[in-house]
Amino acid sequence: MSWEDIPSWAADVAASIMLTIKEKDPHTFYHCLRVGRGSRRLAKAAGLNEFEQAVLEFSGMFHDVGKVGIADSVLLKPGRLTVEEIEEMKSHTIKSASIIEPLTHIPFFRLLQPGIRYHHEKIDGTGYPYGLEGDKIPMAARLIAVVDTFDAMTNTRPYRKALPMEKVKKELIDFSGTQFDPAFVKTFLELWPHLGKEKPEEEVAVARILKAA
């Protein structure tokens, strides 16, 4: 597939979905946009072509949209979650995939599902929702997992302050091969010094959505 297979209206649909998320939880909105942008950049650094980069950008943007279906008392809770609340929060991967499901008759949107549905699987098989391991986890999900975790660790939430960058780097290295795909961690760390220096043309759908917001 190529650029011609990306619907001209894809970014408009993405904006509509993402702005709905913003009404529910601005933190999730901006987190998703950062993960979309970061996934595109990591895909480029990993040698994926422009079409594959677009797939990763949209997959990263949509990876947490299912949180719109999580109760506010859980999603916005300022303290530690109970076991039951953690299980509810884990359901966001399936909910996210379900939100995109009506669009999957379009081949481009069908390609987004693996990155969305499996981004919390871990290389050692201890992730969720299916406990997949190693290469059984789709490539897009393994890539998004690195970007998602980086962004979660480097941004402050009511229940946790952002971690220092050196601590974040250590976490990625320490869990490389168990939680994360070692190849993507290596490429991400090589990309690290250049983060935040995106050119406008590298922010395709994300730039349009930020402008709309």
- Residue-range domains of the chain with CATH: 3-212 (1.10.3210.10)
Residue 208: per-residue pLDDT: 61
Residue 207: per-residue pLDDT: 60
How many other CB atoms are there within 10 angstroms of residue 76's CB atom?
13
DSSP letters along 33-85, please? HHHHHHHHHHHHHTT--HHHHHHHHHHHHHTTGGGGGS-HHHHT-SSPPPHHH
Q: What pTM, to 2 d.p., does this model score?
A: 0.92
DSSP 138: -
Residue 161: per-residue pLDDT: 86
Q: How many CA atoms lie within 13 A of 87 on its CB side?
A: 3
Mean per-residue pLDDT pooled into runs of 10, the chain (213 residues): 81 90 92 93 95 95 96 91 96 98 97 98 98 98 97 84 93 98 97 67 59 58
Q: What is the torsion angle, in degrees rounded to the nearest 10, for the CA atoms of residue 142, residue 28, residue 50 and residue 187?
A: -40
Instruction: Round to whole Å and give the CA distance between 44 and 141.
Output: 15
Q: Quote the distance between the C-alpha of residue 123 and its chain's center.
A: 17
Residue of 120, 138, 123, 110 lying closest to 176 (CA atoms): 123
